[in-house]
Amino acid sequence: MSEHVSDSAEWQSLQGLAEKFSAVHLRDLFGSDPQRGERYAAEVADLYVDYSKNLVTDEVLTALFAVAQRAKLSEKITAMFAGEHINVTEDRAVLHTALRLPRTASLVVDGQDVVADVHGVLDRMGAFADKVRSGEWTGHTGKRITTIVNIGIGGSDLGPVMAYEALKEYSQRDISARFVSNIDPTDLYEKTVDLDPASTLFIIVSKTFTTQETLTNAREARKWLLSALGDDSAVAKHFVAVSTNAEKVADFGIDTDNMFGFWDWVGGRYSLPSAVGLSVLITIGKENFAEMLGGYHAVDEHFRTTPIERNVPALLGLINVWYDTFLGAQSHAVLPYAQYLHRFAAYLQQLTMESNGKSVRLNGDPVNFQTGEVFWGEPGTNGQHAFYQLIHQGTKLIPADFIGFSVPNHDIGEMHDLFMSNFLAQTGALAFGKTLEQVTAEGSSEKVAPHRVMQGNHPTTTILAEKLTPATFGQLVALYEHITFTQGIVWEINSFDQWGVELGKVMANQLAPKLTSAEAPADDADSSTNVLIKRYRAARGR
Ligand code: F6P
């Protein structure tokens, strides 16, 4: 038996299919199978997933399922949900799915009643949110809190800001949230410049509570607050923390009574449904937050219990592997037709690229194939007038996910019908294009006709739900989490560590003194960095 999945006969058979695939066109696949649109569709919770416009056939899908079996995908799903330490480089369980287990479930991991812990924190978050929302929790001077400022970065920012934006319709409109992440001082400045400190609540979110950007922003935010409110005792009413590190929170000067905890088995990029989502919970309320968790859980249950052949996240993850590793796609577009999801692609970039941007297998061997596609996108229809041209007529293979909702959050005139007609038209145009005969029949001159030909055969997946609600939102995020997991398993990489990013954090901390020290810096970096440091210092008068 071969050592790696990529050495297996199943893998080779996919390679063989990929070689033949350049001759296949979606026009022919639809032409030869009038039922393709119905056959290649599935439902997971409230999400209808049409994968018929993908470059796959029954033969390809069967071969992908065989690879999944070879990779022991089902067994690995079971291991993740059971809390086995599948994050081997950090020796940790990967249990973000436990964050959305109902109160009645039971799960004991490493001797700890995980469900009781999770709901204990959720109850404290709910009680705190109620107080802020009702005005019972006031600032130091007795004013109501009207603005929440979440300070965090990476997973401690991207999930909350994306969810806050996505679920704005469900938020209490007299409390708004802002998100400071960048250590560029401009971020903190612009997000606080027009705020009244007396009615501002800072939530400092950091799993480790050691992240340079977050702690620096938090320290400056505290100075900003105290310069207006004077007294150190104001901190207790204006600062709360979300972290796994109580000691560091206390060192920073935040009372641990005002801290909401989570656990090392929650990866930063999977942490939105934990206490990291506190800003979202405060703005949308605990009932809506619970609905969101229910949405996540519905997809978790589907992923945990459904055979791979009918398992939607597994299927979509396998199709992504097909494009990336076998057909050579470099990137994957995510195109929500929902303005509320305008930060979804940014959020997915961390989820997918920090998870699967790896080149070493679990056993330390290098991979010898392509992993980790570049995720990117913007909401439609805006993207149509920007980068879609490259997808339509460029030379690159770019699989794209179209995400839409039948019922609008706001129904104004004919707008939603026009919006969704764009949504539906695009995937058809991408798949079927326009032939030279069609273009000529429409009256194009011989000179212009070739420029108007659309080759088509550009693959898309359509995800359609009835309405963007907290529940469907949770379903969507869980869907992408499990797609990402599936890809990592087939590639035999660890989707749950991020050593590359850790290195960047260490190097920035080492370099900082060279920019500020009174003495001239030792020329001990590389020659490029040495010159850049000098130019920087000169501009700063050092
Ligand atoms: O960017 C690297 C990273 O480690 C992410 O994985 C994490 O979400 C982010 O930094 C923030 O870390 P923390 O929550 O510990 O401040």
pLDDT of 165 over the 90 cut: yes
Pairing state between β 147-151 and 400-405: unpaired
Pairing state between β 176-180 and 259-261: unpaired
Instruction: Choose which residue among 89, 153, 242 to substitute to test ligand 1 binding: the one with the highest number of ligand atoms within 8 A of its C-beta.
Output: 153
What is the per-residue pLDDT across 188-206, written as a single tens digit (0 to 9) for each?
A: 999 999 999 999 999 999 9
Q: Residue 332 in 3-state DSSP?
A: strand
Q: Is 181 in the pocket of ligand 1 (CB under 6 A)?
A: no
**244 contacts 264 by C-beta, under 8 angstroms:** yes
Helix (H) or strand (E) holding 235: helix 235-238
Whose tokens are 């893998």? That residue is 11
How many whole angstroms separate alpha carbon 187 and alpha carbon 199?
A: 19
How many whole angstroms separate alpha carbon 314 and alpha carbon 51?
A: 13
**356 contacts 488 by C-beta, under 8 angstroms:** yes
pLDDT value of residue 507: 84
The residue whose CA has the least distance to atom 1 of ligand 1 is 154
DSSP class of 139: -
Pairing state between β 460-465 and 239-243: unpaired
The Å distance, Cα 85 to ligand 1 centre, comes to 20
Q: Is 361 in the pocket of ligand 1 (CB under 6 A)?
A: no
Q: Is 159 in the pocket of ligand 1 (CB under 6 A)?
A: no
What is the per-residue pLDDT across 103-126, written as a single tens digit (0 to 9) for each?
A: 999 999 989 999 999 999 999 999
Helix (H) or strand (E) holding 456: none
pLDDT of 208 over the 50 cut: yes
- The rounded radius of gyration (Å) of the Cα atoms in the chain is 25
- Of the residues 20, 385, 447, 451, only one is catalytic, namely 385
- Of the residues 165, 291, 354, 481, only one is catalytic, namely 354
Contacts of 130 (CB under 8 A, 6+ apart): 136, 286
Q: Cβ of 31: how many Cβ atoms within 10 Å?
A: 11
Q: Is 332 in the pocket of ligand 1 (CB under 6 A)?
A: no
What is the per-residue pLDDT across 68-77, written as a single tens digit (0 to 9) for each?
A: 999 999 999 9
| DSSP, residue by residue, 73-127 | HHHHHHHHHHT---BTTTTB---GGGGG--TT---EETTEEHHHHHHHHHHHHHH
Q: Calculate the CA 10 to chain-centre distance.
A: 30
Q: Cβ of 125: how many Cβ atoms within 10 Å?
A: 21
Q: Is 495 in the pocket of ligand 1 (CB under 6 A)?
A: no
Is position 354 annotated as part of the catalytic site?
yes
Distinct helix (H) and strand (E) counts, the chain: 23, 13
pLDDT of 279 over the 50 cut: yes
The Å distance, Cα 345 to ligand 1 centre, comes to 18
What mean pLDDT do residues 282-302 have?
98
Is position 385 annotated as part of the catalytic site?
yes
What is the per-residue pLDDT across 350-373, written as a single tens digit (0 to 9) for each?
A: 999 999 999 999 999 999 999 999
How many whole angstroms separate alpha carbon 208 and alpha carbon 211?
A: 7
Burial label, 30 (beta-carbon count in 10 A; 0-12, 13-18, 19+)? middle
Give me the chain's average pLDDT, please.
96
**276 contacts 200 by C-beta, under 8 angstroms:** no
Q: Is 154 in the pocket of ligand 1 (CB under 6 A)?
A: yes
pLDDT value of residue 1: 45
Q: Which of left, alpha, beta for 142 (phi over 0: left; psi -120 to 50: alpha)? A: left
- Cα torsion through 236, 237, 241, 246, rounded to 10: 20
Partner residues linked to 44 by β-bridges: 47
How many whole angstroms separate alpha carbon 278 and alpha carbon 285?
A: 10
Q: Cβ of 366: how many Cβ atoms within 10 Å?
A: 7
Contacts of 107 (CB under 8 A, 6+ apart): 83, 95, 98, 101, 113, 114, 115
The residue whose CA has the least distance to atom 9 of ligand 1 is 154
What is the per-residue pLDDT across 394-414, written as a single tens digit (0 to 9) for each?
A: 999 999 999 999 999 999 999
| Pure H helices in 268-363 | 278-284, 286-305, 312-321, 344-348, 355-356
Instruction: Choose which residue among 498, 503, 505, 506 to substitute to test ligand 1 binding: the one with the highest number of ligand atoms within 8 A of its C-beta.
Output: 498
- Give me 336's structure tokens: 């929500």
> Of ligand 1's atoms, which has the minimum distance to the CA of residue 505?
2
What mean pLDDT do residues 213-227 have?
97
Measuring CA to CA, which residue among 408, 428, 429 is closest to residue 418? 408
The Å distance, Cα 502 to ligand 1 centre, comes to 9
Is position 143 annotated as part of the catalytic site?
no
Q: Is 271 in the pocket of ligand 1 (CB under 6 A)?
A: no
| DSSP, residue by residue, 478-504 | HHHHHHHHHHHHHHT--TT--HHHHHH
pLDDT value of residue 22: 84
Q: What is the reported pTM?
A: 0.97
pLDDT of 428 over the 80 cut: yes
What is the per-residue pLDDT across 480-539, written as a single tens digit (0 to 9) for each?
A: 999 999 999 999 999 999 998 888 888 888 888 999 998 888 888 899 999 999 999 999
How many whole angstroms separate alpha carbon 48 and alpha carbon 15?
A: 30
Between helices 212-229 and 499-516, what is the axis angle to 10°? Answer: 50
Q: Is 379 in the pocket of ligand 1 (CB under 6 A)?
A: no
Q: Is 208 in the pocket of ligand 1 (CB under 6 A)?
A: yes
Between helices 286-305 and 470-491, what is the axis angle to 10°? Answer: 40
How many whole angstroms separate alpha carbon 324 and alpha carbon 189?
A: 41
**300 contacts 187 by C-beta, under 8 angstroms:** no
pLDDT value of residue 2: 53
Measuring CA to CA, which residue among 231, 228, 174, 175 is closest to residue 203? 175
Q: What percent of the chain has pLDDT over 70?
A: 100
